[in-house]
Amino acid sequence: MNAERNTEQRGVAVVTGAGSGIGRAVAVELMRGGWAVVLAGRRESPLQETGALVPDGDRLAVRTDVTEPGSVAALFAATVERFGRVDLLFNNAGTFGPGGLPVEELPYDAWRHVVDTNLNGAFLCAQAAYRQMKEQTPQGGRIINNGSISAHAPRPHSAPYTATKHALTGLTKALSLDGRPYRIAVGQIDIGNAATDMTARMQTGVLQANGAVAAEPVMDVADVARTVRHMAELPLEANVQFATVLATTMPYVGRG
């Protein structure tokens, strides 16, 4: 993450879950690429830490709970007040939920928390971005949803996470269709084993479909960030509908 910043203004991006992991990496990549970036997340301190990684970056940190409609509305209001428009939403905020619990032992509150964050939060942010993109001049923009390998194939004991990621694929397709008349392009990136704090356990051993516990390879999160930036900087006449980026030898192809 030592690349020089590109001073050419690319547009205005909102990145949710920007305080850590993939969200932080993408926000930094966009700022270095010349984007004005609105950093959204539940805690302000990590957002400020993300912004400090690009000292001359054009950014705004907004404390946001994506599960709360009022909080999401305030995020986009602050974005438009500061920058005048929204050109990109990276819909990234999410949670794995409780790991290792079989479905019969899963508390409903835990299920609901994952659904509220991963699916309802993504919908609320996409809806707010869609409204702004439809009405602004020039019209249009791009939404990139952070899916997962689990949008294709589950891990053991992952019902809430897997269900929300499959649902996010349907949301991506529906928004992509509905956005056509308004120059709103919608795509999804499905990520497998990017090296972040959330995936640290992959390198020490995780449960496999055959019941074994095995360490899994990971990839540099910067490679994910570069992929998102490529998707973001396409002209609105072109769209990456779905992209899958994964650690090359992780057990995904042939999982199970």
Name the residues annotated as catalytic.
161
Cis peptide before 156 (omega within 30 of 0): no
Q: Which two tokens stand for residue 62?
A: 């907004």
Going by C-alpha positions, the residue among 205, 61, 182, 69 that lies closest to residue 131 is 182
Residue 16, C-beta contacts closer than 8 angstroms, at least 6 positions apart = 23, 40, 41, 64, 66, 89, 90, 91, 92, 93, 121, 125
Whether 73 contacts 127, CB under 8 Å = no
**How many C-beta atoms lie closer than 10 Å to residue 244's C-beta?**
16
Going from the C-alpha of 199 to that of each of 185, 196, 216, the distances in angstroms are 29, 5, 10
